């Protein structure tokens, strides 16, 4: 029996004039995700995308798993394809749903007749198919209010389709419809969640990581790569810049007051990130900061870090509690990696009494003995780029 995957667009159905463009990007993203699984033909009509495998050994389960990570999709399902003929639909429904119906007690049929030339109305289709299923599987009962399973019949332009329920899509907007921004990624819990959250609103991602060998180990860098690969399941390919940060940290350690270490480090990260991000067409920076979570994330501290860049800084977690952040971290399967105990450059020089209410002026004074421009230039020159899929 011929089977396809039906995909219902999400929020992009609302986008008026931009809709075509959004759909094209969504289709491109879907294609990219499943093209390694074999040849498929993809067609769209009326907020639905039809994916028809052209190879007999197409791995449906793997395809569905990948599609569940594509933003811009409200719902998706496998479906059997039938002729637009009630006898063919009945025969195939009995066969196609056999296994799923054997595991349930109650069901209902919902039908949709998009092609009004089809001789039966939607309620008539439901009645006919429901009767047929009851006659074939006598253990079943109809329950219109709270069925174990909903059987959907859709009569559309080219064919009729049978499916049993559907799965929730990843929601959001297709990646690439909102421009590109650079995530400052650490090995912690927050920044991968921030990256995921912004990709969900349609942003393409670059990533920037500051590494301080030998204070930080190669394992810490591997951890960051692994976290980014979890994000990339949703966002698509990410370009990663690894910036050497050891010298800058040493210089801060030698030349700045201890209570400003973290703040000055954050200001240096922002300055360098803006330059790297600018060179590759990013419109904003993204961080995993959450208001008040640590000393460097009080409002006065965030103001002093923002001040050194012109690019907007997106902080999608700013109003979230740690528990909410951890929930998303688990959901994208990043949590177990995030809590691996490898050191981050931020934990290397943690002041005993970090400044929580810095002023711009006091920050400028605290970093007065640093040759900021030279340090930035050198770090950028030695930055290494790679791609994460
Ligand atoms: P995370 O869990 O993301 O590490 P955090 O709560 O530990 O966040 P900080 O360590 O203060 O907070 O870092 C705040 C933000 O600064 C991070 O979310 C991240 O965006 C950025 N950041 C921190 N360390 C690095 C790093 N080594 N490389 C790149 N960005 C970093
Ligand atoms: Mg951190």
Judge contact between 91 and 85, C-beta under 8 A. no
Residue 30 sits in the same domain as residue 100: yes
Judge contact between 204 and 179, C-beta under 8 A. yes
Taking the CA of 194 as reference, the closest ligand is 1
Task: Say whether 197 sits in a helix, a strand or coil.
Answer: helix
Taking the CA of 292 as reference, the closest ligand is 1
Tell me how far apart the alpha carbons of residues 163 and 56 are, in angstroms, rounded to a whole number. Answer: 20
Strands 149-155 and 160-164: antiparallel
Residue 140 sits in the same domain as residue 222: no
Tell me how far apart the alpha carbons of residues 196 and 231 are, in angstroms, rounded to a whole number. Answer: 6
CATH of the domain at 149: 3.30.2130.30
Which structural domain, as residue segments, surrounds residue 346?
180-388
pLDDT digit string, tens, across residues 154-188: 999 889 999 998 999 999 999 999 999 999 999 99
Residue 142 sits in the same domain as residue 15: yes
Atom of ligand 1 nearest to the CA of 184: 30
Residue 116 sits in the same domain as residue 198: no
Residue finishing a domain among 141, 170, 199:
170
Looking at the predicted structure, is the pLDDT value of residue 14 above 70?
no
- E strands, the chain, are 3-9, 40-45, 48-53, 73-82, 106-113, 141-142, 149-155, 160-164, 167-171, 180-184, 204-211, 238-244, 284-286, 313-314, 384-388
pLDDT digit string, tens, across residues 307-348: 999 999 999 999 999 999 999 999 999 999 999 987 776 666
Computed over its alpha carbons, how large is the radius of gyration of the chain? 27
Residue with the smallest CA separation from ligand 1 atom 22 is 186
Residue 215 sits in the same domain as residue 256: yes
Taking the CA of 212 as reference, the closest ligand is 1
Q: Which residues line ligand 1 (CB under 6 A)?
A: 184-186, 188-191, 208-210, 269, 287-289, 293-294, 296, 344-346
Residue with the smallest CA separation from ligand 1 atom 16 is 287
Residue 156 sits in the same domain as residue 216: no
Residue 165: count of CB within 10 angstroms of its CB: 13
Residue 249 sits in the same domain as residue 364: yes
Strands 3-9 and 48-53: antiparallel
Residue finishing a domain among 170, 204, 233:
170
Residue 81 sits in the same domain as residue 121: yes
Residue finishing a domain among 170, 196, 229:
170
pLDDT digit string, tens, across residues 274-304: 999 999 999 999 999 999 888 889 999 999 9
Look up the pTM and report it.
Answer: 0.93
Return the best residue to mutate from 181, 182, 186 for the ligand 1 pocket (most ligand atoms within 8 A of CB): 186
Q: How far is the CA of 302 from the centre of ligand 2 (A)?
A: 15
């Amino acid at each position: 029996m011929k089977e396809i995957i039906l995909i219902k667009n999400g929020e992009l159905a609302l986008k008026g004039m931009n809709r075509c463009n959004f759909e094209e990007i969504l289709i491109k993203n879907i294609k990219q995700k499943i093209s390694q699984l074999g040849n498929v033909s993809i067609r769209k009509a009326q907020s639905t995308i039809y994916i028809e495998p052209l190879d007999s050994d197409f791995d449906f389960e793997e395809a569905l798993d990948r599609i569940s990570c594509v933003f811009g999709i409200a719902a998706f399902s496998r479906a059997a394809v039938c002729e637009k003929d009630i006898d063919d639909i009945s025969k195939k429904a009995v066969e196609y749903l056999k296994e799923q119906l054997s595991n349930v007690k109650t069901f209902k049929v919902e039908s949709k007749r998009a092609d009004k030339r089809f001789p039966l109305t939607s309620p008539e289709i439901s009645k006919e198919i429901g009767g047929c299923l009851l006659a074939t599987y006598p253990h079943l009962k109809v329950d219109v209010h709270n069925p174990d399973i909903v059987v959907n019949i859709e009569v559309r332009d080219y064919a009729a389709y049978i499916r049993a329920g559907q799965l929730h899509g990843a929601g959001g907007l297709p990646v690439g419809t909102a421009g590109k921004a650079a995530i400052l990624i650490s090995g912690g819990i927050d920044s991968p969640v921030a990256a995921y959250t912004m990709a969900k609103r349609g942003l393409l991602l670059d990533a920037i990581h500051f590494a301080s060998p030998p204070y930080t180990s190669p394992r810490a860098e591997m951890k960051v790569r692994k976290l980014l690969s979890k994000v990339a399941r949703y966002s698509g390919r990410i370009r990663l810049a690894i910036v050497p940060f050891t010298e800058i940290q040493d210089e801060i350690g030698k030349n700045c007051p201890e209570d400003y270490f973290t703040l000055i480090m954050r200001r240096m990260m922002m300055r360098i990130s803006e330059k790297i991000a600018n060179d590759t067409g990013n419109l904003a920076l993204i961080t995993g900061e959450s208001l008040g979570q640590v000393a460097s994330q009080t409002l006065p501290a965030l103001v002093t870090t923002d001040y050194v860049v012109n690019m907007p800084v997106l902080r999608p977690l700013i109003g979230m509690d740690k528990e909410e952040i951890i929930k998303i971290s688990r959901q994208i399967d990043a949590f177990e990696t995030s809590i691996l105990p490898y050191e981050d450059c931020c934990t290397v020089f943690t002041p005993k009494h970090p400044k929580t209410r810095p002023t711009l002026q006091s920050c400028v004074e605290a970093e007065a003995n640093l040759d900021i421009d030279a340090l930035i230039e050198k770090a950028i020159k030695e930055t290494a780029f790679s791609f994460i899929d």
